[in-house]
Amino acid sequence: MEDIIFCNKEEIKIKSDAQPRVCARTILPIMTQNEIKEIEKKPFLNKRDVYYTVNYKGEEYVIYIPKGYTWDAMTIPRFAWSLVGLSKENVCGLIASCVHDKICENKYLVNYNRKLSTIIFKELCIASSMPEWKANFISFFVDNFQKCVKGWKK
């Protein structure tokens, strides 16, 4: 299978070995309270192993998203979601949020470079047909959330 190119700019190139497969997790009546809380916390599931390769400023980074990985979509305030027309059911940047969450959980994947994690997020949002103004707007919130709330200064 040929690589899938998400971004091919002079500064940054992003590709993957496969098209990601994601689904929303469903809460069932037979589930325990802990299982329900976990699904509410991370409602999305990756159903295929996917490797992303990012080339940025002469360095190559590999981000592996394993089958079974769960994440919460975009961790930005709900009021900001409505400003750009997002919801848990209609997330244009779902793949971008998956990759970004994996990076945030494993900062070494991008050599602890917060700026690069935000650039990857933004470019994957744009690749998912999100308008560039919206990707810039959301990326601003995502970057500042990582810097101010999560303490990722570098």
Residue-wise pLDDT tens digits, 133-146: 989 988 998 898 88
Q: Is the pLDDT of residue 79 over 80?
A: no
Query: How high is the pLDDT of residue 88?
Result: 57
Show the DSSP H helices in the chain as ranges. Answer: 33-41, 78-84, 94-105, 114-127, 132-144
Cβ neighbours for 129, distance < 8 A, ≥ 6 positions apart: 92
The tens digit of pLDDT for each residue in 39-59 reads 988 988 999 999 999 999 999
Show the DSSP H helices in 42-113 as ranges. Answer: 78-84, 94-105
Helix axes 94-105, 114-127, angle to 10 degrees: 160
Neighbouring-strand partners of residue 8: 13
Q: pTM for this one?
A: 0.89
Q: How many CA atoms lie within 13 A of 40 on its CB side?
A: 8
Q: Provide the terminal-to-terminal Cα distance of the chain, rounded to the nearest Å.
A: 36
The tens digit of pLDDT for each residue in 80-123 reads 666 666 655 555 678 899 999 999 999 999 999 999 999 999 99
How many whole angstroms separate alpha carbon 21 and alpha carbon 36?
A: 22
Cβ neighbours for 141, distance < 8 A, ≥ 6 positions apart: 76, 77, 80
Long-range pairs for 36-41 at CB < 8 Å and ≥24 separation? 38/70, 41/72
Sheet holding 4-8, edge to edge: 4-8, 12-16, 50-56, 59-65
